[in-house]
Structures are given as C-alpha cells and as structure tokens.
A and B are shown apart, each in its own frame.
Chain A
Amino acid sequence: KQEVTQIPAALSVPEGENLVLNCSFTDSAIYNLQWFRQDPGKGLTSLLLIQSSQREQTSGRLNASLDKSSGRSTLYIAASQPGDSATYLCAVGPDNQGGKLIFGQGTELSVKP
C-alpha cells in the first residue's frame, strides 16, 4: 500500500531564508507527484505537478524535484516571505486511471517577518 510521509510536520523560519520541504513515498510506481498549498480554512491550490518521467518543475521561487528510485520529492522555496506561510501538501498519483491521489499529512510553514 502506497504511503506518503512529510517531515517535518511544522517549520518556522525567518523571512528571506531558502528552505526545503520533504516528501517521501513507499512505492516508486507512481504516475505523477503534485505539491499543493493550503491556507487556513481554505481549499487546496496546486503549485507544481511533476510527471513520473520528469526530474523537476519550477514556478517562480518554487522548485520541486522528484527521485522515483529513492521515493523522494523536495519542494524548494527561495527567499521565503511571510505570504508563503501555509500548509504544504504533497500527493502522489498511484496509477494513470482516474487521477486518484494519495496525500501526505502536510508541513505547516511559518515565515516570520
């Protein structure tokens, strides 16, 4: 059974710091991996999607990498800002039917001014 783990559960950093969020999964046979952002009391917003054949994706200050063989993905946030404070979730697509996702528990990020 595919399991997705995110460590740490919470992270607090000063503004301007570069940081890395980690995601690991137990079964390397994935279709894709997505990173989402969730603000308190809100729904999820997709940040980056990496196909299984890709190694990384970039959007602005965000860079996500994927290493299927080791079952790991990282989300790199450059020059963090207080507006980046949110919960970040990773999710893997276990197959190419129906777009089902298996989520990690998330990392709650706080960026202090």
Chain B
Amino acid sequence: NAGVTQTPKFQVLKTGQSMTLQCAQDMNHNSMYWYRQDPGMGLRLIYYSASEGTTDKGEVPNGYNVSRLNKREFSLRLESAAPSQTSVYFCASSEAILSGRAGSWTDTQYFGPGTRLTVL
C-alpha cells in the first residue's frame, strides 16, 4: 500500500517549457488535491477534484491545468512555466467518512512526498 505517490521528485525547467506532474493514490479515495508550498506562504490549493470526472479551481489556479484521468490519478500541467511557479508541489487525497450517531464527517487528507520544481 504505497499511499500517495508523485513523480518526478525534482525538476528544473526553463521559462516557457511545459511539463506534467503526476500523482496517484491506491486508497480508493474520491477526492484529490494539488497544493503548492512556498516559504512564508504555507500551502495553497491550486486545484482539486471532489470525484472522478470533476475538477474545480482552488486559491491559485492561474497558469495550471489539471486532469482527473481516473479515480487513482490526478495530474497537474504547467503549459508555459514561469519563475513564479518555482515551488514545492504536493498532491493529496481524502475520503469523507460518515461516522458516529451525530453523523460527523472524518476527512483526513493524505499527502504525497512532493515535487520540487525550479523554473529558471
């Protein structure tokens, strides 16, 4: 059970180049997310997919596109990389579980190891 996996681990691009970051989860989760982490900014949501076949913008979607290929895989594409996209990118997945008599939801997110991207 690998959890959430991301490829590549490291990448250096030149301005204007394109690339796709890959993410896969083997926990049968419906929801998947892409975040970026920058010093002093915390993690910010780029895009998310609440279920297979759906995607929605997060806080910082400009310059990115996503594809929910199937239930397991959620990719993030940079069409024309810019230095401002230098960051660490994390993929995450979760499954909301209804539990307890009060009907409370448990929705723990599980994160991948990250991709460190540098755009020159």
| Chains A and B belong together in one complex | yes
Residues of A within 8 A of B (CB): 4, 31-32, 34, 36, 42-46, 49, 51, 53-54, 89, 91, 93, 96-106
Pairs across A and B, CB under 8 Å, 14 listed? A32-B105, A43-B4, A43-B90, A43-B112, A43-B114, A54-B104, A89-B42, A89-B43, A93-B107, A96-B105, A98-B50, A99-B31, A100-B48, A100-B58
Q: Report B15-54 residues with CB < 8 Å from chain A CB.
A: 31, 33, 35, 40-45, 48, 50
Chain A residues within an 8 Å CB radius of B113 = 42-43
Residues of B within 8 A of A (CB): 4, 31, 33, 35, 40-45, 48, 50, 56, 58-59, 90, 92, 94, 96, 102, 104-114
Chain B residues within an 8 Å CB radius of A100 = 33, 45, 48, 58
Count of chain A to chain B residue pairs whose CB atoms are closer than 8 Å in the complex? 72
Instruction: Please determine whether B109 and A46 come into contact, CB atoms closer than 8 angstroms.
Output: yes
* Bound Cα distance A101, B56 (Å): 14
The 7 A-B residue pairs with the shortest CB-CB distance, nearest first, are A43-B111, A98-B50, A103-B42, A44-B111, A103-B43, A105-B42, A51-B104
Instruction: Please determine whether B43 and A49 come into contact, CB atoms closer than 8 angstroms.
Output: no
Q: Which of A45, A99, A102, A103 contacts B94 (CB 8 A)?
A: A99
Q: Which residue of A lies closest to B31 (CB)?
A: A99
